Amino acid sequence: MTKIVTTPLTLEKVQDLKSGDRVLLNGTIYTGRDAAHKRLFEMIQRGEKLPFDLNGQVIYYVGPCPAKPGTVIGSAGPTTSGRMDPYTPALLQNGLKGMIGKGLRSQAVVDAIIKYKCVYFAAIGGAGALLAESIKEAEVLAFPDLGPEAIYKLRVENFPVTVIIDSEGNNLYTVGKERYRQH
Amino acid sequence: MREIHANQIISTVERLCIESNINLPDDVKNALDDALKMESSPLGQEILKDIIKNAEIAKEKNIPICQDTGFAVVFLKLGQDVRITGGNLVDAINEGVRRGYINGYLRKSIVTDPFLTRKNTKDNTPAIIHTEIVPGDKINIILAPKGGGSENMSALRMLSPADGVEGIKRFVLETVDKAGSNPCPPIVVGIGVGGTIEVATLIAKKALLRPLGQHHPQPEVADLERELLAEINKLGIGPQGFGGSTTALAVHIETFPAHIASLPVAINIQCHVARHMEAEI
């Protein structure tokens, strides 16, 4: 079933999301991938103030294409989430509630998702043109020197995602594969 | 001797960079349409529909299919009777990539010093260039932008000749299974068997350039392609790893003679955005 959810995420909203749900996200989300994660993680370790308050927020693992003149953003599909794993538990501990990416997560991330009651969504990898249509506003918020890896603040409308790992640790990648496996 | 001006190479490469990133080849579209008819998971069918719709939006809006517009991998067949004027070949290709990625609003995904500063080169250069000298007076250029997510799931193993076909099958299934949802399935699997390590990996990548569904001319190799495709699709990974019967759209194998001591096997995984475009000058 499809659920419509508005950010920021609360504990109640997160607990209503179950692995396998299709969700249309609305509101503000933030982008961040490899280099931005490394910087956020190092800032947390040094006790510095982050460029945005993580509480209840959602980070989208994406490095978009440049916007053509007259458009909000270029193609903007998810990147592989696993590369963010070393940094993710610290972000979840500091209030981050949701992540959008694609692909497998480490056990440490799954444990942190359960511990801090968070949710991991996947957007369709390789569907950057389709996903860009749901992004209505985009502005660079931090680390402009990183180019496509800068942190953008996005406003999304009905941004289509699927719940992969819910706050209880149920995992669509495991369950879905087992259901259709013939080996 | 035929003279070809560097500017012609620059403009051709620029065009190929832009067009290959926007237009999904027809063979890939057809393979996705076929997969949609065969897919057993309802959620998997929804995903395949969105993937097909995405390619239509990209074409209509003239924007990249995927934001990862890749490393610019260039396969060159350079006629030995060609003389390049007005510049040198490698600079011309890199200039074409620079213009294509900047003028086409493509993402610049290349960083310098892989384990040091990782500073973005800001124009997607350098290109990866594979040159073959061939008879004739033409230059054939294939541009195949390669995304990082699927490339990262690729693998090489130096098997022992005693491992044989069974060893190859085990390695392929293990690699695809382990990759799971990461390389954006449904995938295309390019396999290179034989040669030395660099030849195995190069022919694995070349295998990805073959039109989807076109089998290897050698019947035994073609049979192995069919068998591996069927086995991969029994893994259950499905579109985007959400579970289903379409994990791969095609398996292509290329072979090369091997040393008496060796059976190198390289697996190059390609996401469903299997882009490549060709031009001849």
Q: What is the pLDDT of residue A179?
A: 96
Q: Which of A33, A37, A97, A102 is catalytic?
A: A37
Residue A134 Cα, gap to closest chain B Cα (Å)? 12
* 172-211 in chain B: CB under 8 A from chain A: 180-182, 184
| Residue in A64, A146, A172 closest to B67 by CB | A64
Q: Apex CA B158: angle with CA B154 and CA B159, to 5°? A: 110
Question: Would you call A63 and B109 a contact, using CB atoms and an 8 Å cutoff?
Answer: yes
Please tell me the predicted confidence (pLDDT) of residue B176. 98
pLDDT score of B63: 97
Cβ contact, residue pair B182, A160, below 8 Å: no
Q: Would you tell me how many other CB atoms lie within 10 Å of the CB of residue B14?
A: 21
**Where are the alpha helices (H) located in A17-156, listed in sequence order?**
34-45, 88-93, 107-115, 128-132
Which residue in B236, B233, B176 sits closest to A177, CA to CA? B236
Place of tokens 């968070």: A118
Residue count of chain B: 281
- Supply B98's token pair: 């620079």
Query: What's the one-letter identity of residue A45?
Result: Q
- Tell me the mean pLDDT in the region B178-202: 98
What CATH class is the domain A2-182?
Answer: alpha beta
Residue that has been written with the tokens 């989430």 in this structure: A81
Q: How far is CA B109 from CA A31, A65, B72, in A?
A: 16, 10, 10
Touching A: B residues 82-121, CB under 8 Å: 105-109, 118, 120
DSSP H helices in chain A:
11-16, 34-45, 88-93, 107-115, 128-132, 172-180
So what's the pLDDT on residue A50?
95
State residue A147's pLDDT score.
Answer: 86
Spell out the domain ranges in chain A.
Answer: 2-182
pLDDT class for B11, splitting at 50, 70, 90? very high
- Give me the residues of chain A with pLDDT under 50, please: none
Residue of A31, A62, A75, A178 to mutate, testing the B interface (most B Cβ within 10 Å of its Cβ)? A75
Residue B218 structure tokens:
């050698």
State the nearest Cα–Cα gap between A74 and chain B, in angstroms.
7
Using the beta-carbon criterion (under 8 Å), do A74 and B122 form an inter-chain contact?
Answer: no
Alpha carbon of residue A49 to chain centroid: 21
HEC sequence for B121-133: CCCCCCCEEEEEE
Contacts of B45 (CB under 8 A, 6+ apart): B36, B39
* pLDDT given at position A92: 98
Q: Do B180 and A177 touch (CB under 8 A)?
A: yes
Contacts of A127 in chain B (CB under 8 A): 50-51, 54, 66
> Any residues with CB less than 8 A from the CB of B196 and at least 6 apart, and which?
B259, B262, B264
Rounded to an integer, what is the distance from CA B252 to the centroid of its chain?
11
Q: Is A37 a catalytic residue?
A: yes
How far is CA A17 from each of CA A9, A117, B40, B143, rounded to the nearest angstrom?
11, 11, 25, 43
Q: What token pair was written down for A35?
A: 């280099």
User: Chain A residues with CB inside 8 Å of B107's CB?
Assistant: 63-66, 74-75, 148
Nearest residue on chain A to B53, alpha-carbon basis? A130
What pLDDT shows up at residue B60? 96
Q: Which two tokens stand for residue B69?
A: 């517009």
pLDDT averaged over every residue in chain B:
97
Return the beta strands (E) in A32-150 as ranges: 58-60, 98-101, 119-122, 135-142
Q: Please list, residue by residue across A31-69, b when 16 or more beta carbons sit within 10 angstroms of its beta carbon and e when fewer do.
A: bbbbbbbbbbbeebeeeeeebbebebbbbbbbbbbbbee
C-alpha–C-alpha distance, residues B19 and B162, integer Å: 45
| pLDDT attached to residue A75 | 97
C-alpha dihedral, B54 to B59 to B62 to B68, nearest 10°: 50
Chain A contact set for B51 (CB, 8 A): 124, 126-127
| d(C-alpha A92, C-alpha A115), whole Å | 9
Q: What pLDDT, on the 0 to 100 scale, is given for residue A1?
A: 73
Q: Is the pLDDT of residue B111 over 80?
A: yes
